[in-house]
Amino acid sequence: MSQYMQASEDVMQRLRPFGIFFEKSLKGLIRGIRANNDTPDKLDEFLELVLKECREEVASLDMNTKTNAVLKMTYLEMYGYDMSWANFHILEVMSSNKIQQKRVGYLAASQSFYKDTDILMLATNLMRKDLQYMGSNDVVKVGIALSGLSTVITPSLAENVCNDLILMLNSSKPYIRKKSLSALYKVFLEYPEALRDNFDKFTATLDNDDISVVSASVSVICELAKKNPAPFISLSPLLYEILINIENNWIIIRLLKLFTNLSQYEEKLRPKLLPKVLELMGITTATSVMYESINCIVKGDMLEVDDYDTALECLEKLEQFCNSQDPNLRYISCGLFYKIGKINADFISQFSKLIIKLISDVDVSIRSKALELLEGIINEDNIKKIVKELLQQLLRPTEMQVDNMITLSKTVSIIVPESYKIKVINVIIELCSMNNFENIPDFEWYSAVLLDLAILSQDLSDKSLGKNIGVQLKEMMLRVPEMRSNIISTVISIVSDENMDSQLPTILNDSFWILGEYSSLIQNGNDLIGLLLSRADKYPFKTVPILIIAVVKIFSNWCNNNSSDLDSVKQLLEEIILFLEKFSNSSYFETQERAIEILEFLRLCHDSFDDESTEVPVLLSEVLPSLFFSYELTPIRPGTQKKFQSTISVDLETPFLTEKELQDLLNEEENNYEYDGQLEISDDSDDSDVSIAYNTIYKDDISIAEEYESNNNKNNASHQFDDSRSSNPFYLGEEEVTSKTKKDNHLLDVDNSDDNQITSRYDIKTINLLDDKIDDGKKKSKKKKHKIQILADADLFKDSELTESTKSADFSNNSRSKIKSKLASFDFSKDPQANQDDDSVLEELRGKFASQNISTEIKTIQTQGGDDDGEEVIIIKKHKKKSKKRNKKTKPIIEDIGSDM
């Protein structure tokens, strides 16, 4: 049997050179996966069987079988099977002398060794051995080792192989020099000290005779400069010379990218590089070099805000790219257009036709990029045209004629994704609200646009669009007083739409606020209140607190404008009380708090109705309006509230009273208490004394009360709302006080037995606007709309007083995300010669420490030994033997002391 097995193995070994294998190869594995890919269970069963075979084959003594198993495991790793258990077998394949087997071993190591640092310690010597170039046949072997090394590099491994790679830069083979430079990139990232110590040897490759080596060196320096450009500033003259003399477009592109990073770090390079880059951009015919030149000028901060000539030259080249048939070139050109516009929006203002053409491009990604350019070309003349084009893209599907190389033209239906629609709506809002609505020619048109956007936003998933639209309506109400009547009609249309409650509820918060704050423009507010109350259960719970305040404000204005019909006022008041009672037990705290506050006040108003009176009670006519409409709201500058907060200083450390003052106050209170007790108990006390004391204590309060009463009597003589009364929300008249005292016993006696539930019997179509609330200036504004007054932000502080945190942040294209690595945080300014060798320092410390101990111990022994020289010699010999043992035992302690010193 054993002879038969040996014979079969010999046959298998003889057939292998002819490509005949009896094990399942990688091709067989792929065919098996395709054949068993019907169900996941069947595929898993097949893969488990193959993995079991690989475990058996990888343990074989035959290197070919082992290599085949490792190759199949590298393929199975893509299916999620871990192969780190076979790391030692992979190491064996790596040590093979055959190139094909070594290639498989390094491939498997690149996929598995990074998980196991212990195996890298064993592989270090093998890699260093493979990196040695012994002859012409070792070129491929060295290349395989360098490729594998780059994928598994660690700080310790980088430190060990660094010197070997530096020596390989002097190899006679350009292939090895290129591969060494590529491997050094990963070494420098993990071990930056290698770049500092071998900087001259590394940069000497820029003067290499082989152009491929120079290309590799420039590429490595370009990538390293992205992490930390500081050490490469000194190479600027050499790199500039290469840029002038080189004719290789690939190297020119890499040099331009490198100078982009260096010019961001060193400002002095910009005026030197800009003329050469402009010259290169003008003479080159390669599109890639031309684009990279523009990119170097823009991203390298070479384009100044007032440099219109350079900007125009760059934009003219980009205009050619945008008219190209290549969609990729059009897309990246839009990105540079946007960055130039961020430097100065006036640069791209004359390219409005091109940008409008780009927002109708057949490629939606190019459209999305072109939307960002509209900010630079928008003005009062073209805003309607641009917004109309964007709205048409949202309303109807787009079909365009596309030129093709095979056919002259082809009709393509463009599918607009939802993300693009959301971006279009946000861009329209941003364009129209720029710089305090300076680009709006007609606010009635913009109000209609916002209504259309609200309707279109109902079908989109981003519900924050409703918040953005509501903010715009609120801004216009605050800043454009002449258009408030038109805007509030738009808001009423939004609130009347039942679909808004469920599909775009985020717009309701600002809509309710507008209806409440400017309810004086609404004539039949009772119908609007009825509509809001009938649909209150459908509103989101966070909207109800705003709704409560809005309903009270609308009711306050309506009841004072319809004071003759007291029955309808009282009836509507009862319905509002019923509405508030439902939310007085709400689980949402803010809703419950506001409902209870308003409910108690409205109950007082309800009890203040007098059957004999023909006027609205004072609580409704004076007190309720003074709570909300005493002051007119005006826009304020952003950051004002934060500035107010910064001016408030609160000392939380110093106590209000010292211990002595506190004790004196307690003693005084105790004495006052005893004195009051004596006044109450003493029968001999004179009433006149008590009255004198009473008058003395409350003298000031009596004078204030008398003055308050006299003021009330004067104000009650006039029945009109003068400025002094409207400016004081806490002012109560005499009639109000007397009516309150008359009803004092019945304030809480509210009869709810006759209350009925609210029904939707109101017709919202009858809501009209007060004509007398609209100024005559509105008619003038229709004739000359550009003269409509837009309120600016109220500046309560000077510009110098505003802190930097409150000012609006400027757009900057200098910010660049930096990848964190050891190289990025490494300080190249330190001198490597200043760091002495640690071993030499330790040896010096050990020597000094040992000599001091020996000398002191010898002196003590000599003093104790007396005049007997023999005894003294014997003791010294014993002492030397002990000191050697002691030094061996305390060696780690000496090292610790030396390291601390």
* Mean pLDDT to the nearest integer, 280-297: 92
Domain ranges of the chain: 20-396, 518-622, 825-900
pLDDT at position 400 is 59
* Mean pLDDT to the nearest integer, 43-48: 90
Which run of H or of E encompasses 410? strand 410-414
pLDDT tens by residue, 6-34: 455 565 556 555 444 446 788 888 989 99
How far apart (Å, rounded) are the C-alpha atoms in residues 322 and 319? 5
Residue 684 has pLDDT above 70, yes or no: no
- Strand-pair partners of 402: 410
Contact 335, 366 (CB under 8 A): no
How far apart (Å, rounded) are the C-alpha atoms in residues 529 and 233? 72
Question: What integer best gives the mean pLDDT of the chain?
Answer: 76
The fraction of the chain above a pLDDT of 90, given in percent, is 32
pLDDT at position 277 is 92
pLDDT at position 671 is 77
List, in order, residues 6 or more apart from 696 with CB less than 8 Å away: none
pLDDT tens by residue, 203-254: 999 999 999 999 999 999 999 999 999 889 999 999 999 999 998 999 999 9
* Mean pLDDT to the nearest integer, 710-733: 42
First CA to last CA distance, the chain: 73
How far apart (Å, rounded) are the C-alpha atoms in residues 541 and 126? 70
pLDDT at position 563 is 64
Residue 608 has pLDDT above 90, yes or no: no
* Mean pLDDT to the nearest integer, 766-775: 40
Confidence of residue 376 (pLDDT cuts 50, 70, 90): confident
Contact 86, 58 (CB under 8 A): yes
pLDDT at position 784 is 45
How far apart (Å, rounded) are the C-alpha atoms in residues 501 and 535? 9
pLDDT tens by residue, 538-578: 899 899 999 999 999 999 999 888 766 788 888 999 999 99
3-state SS, residue 636: strand
Confidence of residue 796 (pLDDT cuts 50, 70, 90): low
The fraction of the chain above a pLDDT of 70, given in percent, is 70
User: How far is residue 457 from each of residues 395, 674, 856, measured CA to CA in Å?
Assistant: 11, 74, 92
pLDDT at position 756 is 38
Which run of H or of E encompasses 124? helix 117-130
Q: Which residue has the tokens 């009209």?
A: 768
- Cβ burial, residue 101 (10 Å; 0-12/13-18/19+): buried
List, in order, residues 6 or more apart from 549 with CB less than 8 Å away: 516, 594, 598, 628
Does the domain spanning 20-396 belong to CATH 1.25.10.10?
A: yes
Highest mean pLDDT of the ranges 532-536, 724-728, 792-796:
532-536
